[in-house]
């Protein structure tokens, strides 16, 4: 099995453009939003408790995902955002490792993590990661954390 590393990042890696191109080819625009919001300063995942994490294989960016304060909920709720793994790295637990790292980070400050996905595959993936479906208008999945 290939070895990859998941780590917090404070700057967008140049390789994000390669991931963005792949995501857009699959019909996903959320990495474009990530890049635009980063450059505009609208969201840099730098508020207390927030973070952006990247997965690398041999120094090649293969996945990314962020954790932010959920703008649709109280302050003790985090939102998982912009999670994407390169197609060539799917099925190797990269996404699950990335989500696990983000949830572990969330548990240091938040009581709940929510997210929104609009695909059946995304829904199944997040449920495998331990999230439960919710009927909330602003989120499709939720995870209650022990922590605080």
Q: pLDDT tens across 41-50, in order?
A: 999 999 999 9
Q: How far apart are CA 41 and CA 38, in angstroms?
A: 5
pLDDT on residue 43: 94
Q: Which CATH architecture has domain 5-144?
A: 3-Layer(aba) Sandwich (3.40)
Tell me the C-alpha to C-alpha distance, in Å, between residue 57 and each of 1, 20, 34, 91, 102. Answer: 11, 17, 21, 14, 18
Contact status, residue 70 vs residue 28, Cβ threshold 8 Å: no
For residue 103, what is the DSSP state?
H
Q: Which residues contact 32 (CB under 8 A, 6 or more apart)?
A: 20, 23, 24
pLDDT on residue 74: 78
Contact status, residue 51 vs residue 104, Cβ threshold 8 Å: no
pLDDT on residue 4: 92
Ranges of each domain in the chain: 5-144
Burial (Cβ within 10 Å: 0-12, 13-18, ≥19) of residue 55: buried
Tokens of 70: 């959920």
Which segments in the chain show pLDDT lower than 70?
1-2, 147-148
Average model confidence (pLDDT) across the chain:
94
Tokens of 64: 């990314």
Task: Report CA dihedral (119, 124, 130, 131) to the nearest 10 degrees.
Answer: 30
Q: Kindly report the pTM of this predicted structure.
A: 0.94
Q: Which residues contact 130 (CB under 8 A, 6 or more apart)?
A: 103, 143
Contact status, residue 144 vs residue 90, Cβ threshold 8 Å: no
């Amino acid at each position: 099995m290939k070895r990859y590393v998941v780590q917090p990042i404070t700057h967008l890696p140049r390789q994000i453009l390669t991931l963005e191109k792949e995501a857009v080819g699959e019909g996903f625009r959320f990495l474009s939003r990530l890049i635009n919001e980063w450059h505009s300063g609208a969201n840099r995942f730098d508020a207390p408790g927030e973070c952006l994490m990247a997965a690398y294989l041999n120094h090649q960016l293969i996945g990314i995902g962020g954790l932010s304060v959920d703008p649709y909920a109280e302050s003790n709720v985090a939102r998982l955002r912009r999670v994407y793994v390169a197609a060539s790295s799917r099925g190797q637990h990269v996404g699950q490792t990335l989500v696990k790292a983000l949830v572990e980070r969330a548990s240091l400050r938040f009581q709940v993590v929510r997210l929104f996905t609009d695909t059946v595959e995304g829904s199944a993936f997040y449920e495998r990661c331990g999230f439960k479906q919710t009927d909330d208008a602003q989120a499709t999945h939720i995870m209650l954390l022990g922590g605080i």
